[in-house]
Amino acid sequence: MIGATGQIGRAAVRALAEDGWRVRAASRGGGRDGSWPASVESVAVDRDDDAAVAALIGDGCDVVLDCVAYGRAHARQLLNLADRVGSAVVISTGAVYEDDQGRGFATQDRPDGDPRYPVPLPESQRTVPPGDGYGSRKVALERELLGAGDRLPTTLLRAGAVHGPHCRTPRELYFVKRALDGRPVRILAYGGRSRFHPVHVDNVAELVRLAAHRPGSRVLNAGDPQAPTVADIAAAVDAVLGVRSELVLVDGGPPHPHVGSTPWSLAHPLVYDMSAAGRELGYRPVTGYAESLPATVGWLADRLAAAPDWRTAFPDMAAAYDPMTDLFDYAAEDAWLRDGGSSPAL
pLDDT of 304: 96
Write the CATH number of the domain with boundaries 7-338: 3.40.50.720
pLDDT of 343: 42
Q: Which string of DSSP letters, residue by residue, matches 68-87?
A: S--HHHHHHHHHTTGGGEEE
Q: Tens of pLDDT along 311-321?
A: 999 999 998 88
Asked if residues 281 and 211 have their Cβ atoms less than 8 Å apart, the reply is: yes
Section 132-158 average pLDDT:
97
In the predicted structure, residue 346 carries a pLDDT above the cut 60: no
pLDDT of 326: 82
- In this prediction, residue 341 has a pLDDT band, given cuts at 50, 70 and 90, of confident
Query: Looking at beta carbons, which pairs linking 281-287 to residues 24 or more positions away fall under 8 Å?
Result: 281/207, 281/210, 281/211, 281/214, 281/220, 282/210, 283/206, 283/207, 283/210, 284/206, 285/203, 285/206, 285/224, 285/225, 286/202, 286/203, 286/206, 287/200, 287/202, 287/203, 287/224
pLDDT of 340: 83
Dihedral, CA of residue 204, residue 80, residue 74 and residue 6, to nearest 10: 40
Section 161-185 average pLDDT:
97
In the predicted structure, residue 288 carries a pLDDT above the cut 70: yes
Average pLDDT, the chain: 95
Round to whole Å and give the CA distance between 34 and 157: 26
pLDDT of 344: 44
Sign for the CA dihedral angle at 206, 77, 220, 201 comes to positive
pLDDT of 323: 61
- In this prediction, residue 136 has a pLDDT band, given cuts at 50, 70 and 90, of very high
pLDDT of 345: 41
Angle CA(230)–CA(234)–CA(235) in degrees, nearest 5? 120
pLDDT of 325: 60
Asked if residues 207 and 281 have their Cβ atoms less than 8 Å apart, the reply is: yes
Q: Which string of DSSP letters, residue by residue, matches 215-270?
A: --SEEEEE--S---BHHHHHHHHHHHHT---EEEEPSSS-SBTTBS--TT--SS-B
What is the SS3 assignment for 210? helix
Peptide bond into 165 cis (omega under 30): no
User: 324 to each of 19, 28, 273, 320, how far by Cα in Å?
Assistant: 44, 30, 32, 9
Contacts of 63 (CB under 8 A, 6+ apart): 21, 85, 86, 87, 88, 89, 212, 215
In the predicted structure, residue 294 carries a pLDDT above the cut 80: yes
pLDDT of 322: 66
- The DSSP call for residue 128 is P
**What's the N-to-C CA distance of the chain in angstroms?**
46
| E strand map for 61-182 | 61-66, 85-93, 154-159, 161-163
In the predicted structure, residue 285 carries a pLDDT above the cut 90: yes
Contacts of 208 (CB under 8 A, 6+ apart): 12, 15, 16, 65, 89, 157
pTM (predicted TM-score): 0.96
In the predicted structure, residue 64 carries a pLDDT above the cut 90: yes
In the predicted structure, residue 342 carries a pLDDT above the cut 90: no
